Amino acid sequence: AQSVTQPDIHITVSEGASLELRCNYSYGATPYLFWYVQSPGQGLQLLLKYFSGDTLVQGIKGFEAEFKRSQSSFNLRKPSVHWSDAAEYFCAVGPFSGGYNKLIFGAGTRLAVHP
Amino acid sequence: GAGVSQSPSNKVTEKGKDVELRCDPISGHTALYWYRQRLGQGLEFLIYFQGNSAPDKSGLPSDRFSAERTGESVSTLTIQRTQQEDSAVYLCASSLAGLAGPRDTQYFGPGTRLTVL
């Protein structure tokens, strides 16, 4: 069955520290991969997406993610976290071909940032 | 430009009542999606509309749930005889063409928080 796992429910980091949020997926084919961020009271905002090609993807707000096919992972990273990054982060996968973007989401990782 | 809007932002209702949630997609977006987000969980796909094609209702959890969309504009999600397990945030998204792949990004609204007492 298709699924997305985000192993960390909550993560707390200090401002200025580096960040890595984990995402593992189970999918029958090469998926499209997405990271979304959800701030309190806000809708989901796309941070970055992987389609094909270079496995290191750059996104907005200084985030990047690396697709590792051998590990079925698409971890999100940021070298230096800002207090405004505190939010909930969702990893999602979508179909590679045919049909439409019926996204499958992970349960999310809530990030807290200490000053 | 305007993003996806949803109304109401919050809805509290009594068990057994019907509720109607509204979504206004981005102008020009032909594809529209409804998702449900239960507390502490990821988003769960409910239904998808693409132009004048028959909607994909495969994600609707029961026949109490239905949705309509008028052309390529507003959509309403209706839940009849609400149950406590229907309490969740209902998110709407739209995209330009609904094609598979990240070239067609989904843009999400802020959601409607439904609480069934």
pLDDT of the residue at B42:
82
pLDDT of the residue at A66:
95
The residue of chain A nearest to residue B94, with distances taken between CA atoms, is: A101
Burial of residue B64 (number of CB atoms within 10 Å: 0-12, 13-18, 19+)? middle
| B79-to-A2, B20, B63, B84 alpha-carbon distances in Å | 27, 7, 9, 12
Residue B43, pLDDT above cutoff 80? yes
Q: What is the mean pLDDT of residues B80-106?
A: 88
| Chain A residues touching residue B4 (CB < 8 angstroms) | 43
Residues of chain A that touch chain B, judged by Cβ-Cβ distance less than 8 Å: 4, 6, 9, 32, 34, 36, 41-46, 49-51, 90, 92, 94-108
Q: Which of residues 10-49 of B touch A (CB under 8 A)?
A: 31, 33, 35, 40-45, 48
The top-scoring range by mean pLDDT among A33-42, B39-48, B78-87 is B78-87
| A65-to-A19, A58, A73, A113, B26 alpha-carbon distances in Å | 11, 7, 10, 20, 28
The mean of the pLDDT values for chain B is 91
Query: How would residue B50 be classed by pLDDT, with cut points 50, 70 and 90?
Result: confident
Residue, of B54 and B99, whose pLDDT is higher = B54
Please give the structure tokens belonging to residue A48: 């970055």
Residue, of B104 and A63, whose pLDDT is higher = A63
Q: Nearest Cβ partner of B42 from A32, A100, A108?
A: A108
pLDDT digit string (tens) for chain A, length 115 residues: 778 999 999 999 999 999 999 999 988 777 889 999 998 777 789 999 988 788 899 999 999 999 999 999 999 999 999 999 999 999 998 865 556 667 889 999 999 999 8
Q: What is the mean pLDDT of residues B81-99?
A: 92
| Chain B residues touching residue A94 (CB < 8 angstroms) | 100-102
Return the closest-CA partner of residue B106 out of B42, B32, B41. Answer: B32
Low-confidence winner among A83-92, B18-27, B67-76 (lowest mean pLDDT): B67-76
Look at A98 and B3 and tell me if their CB atoms are within 8 Å. Answer: no
Which phi and psi (to 5°) does residue A70 adopt? -65, -25
Longest dimension (CA), chain A: 46
pLDDT of the residue at A38:
92
pLDDT of the residue at A101:
67
Residue, of A2 and B38, whose pLDDT is higher = B38
- Type of residue at B70: T
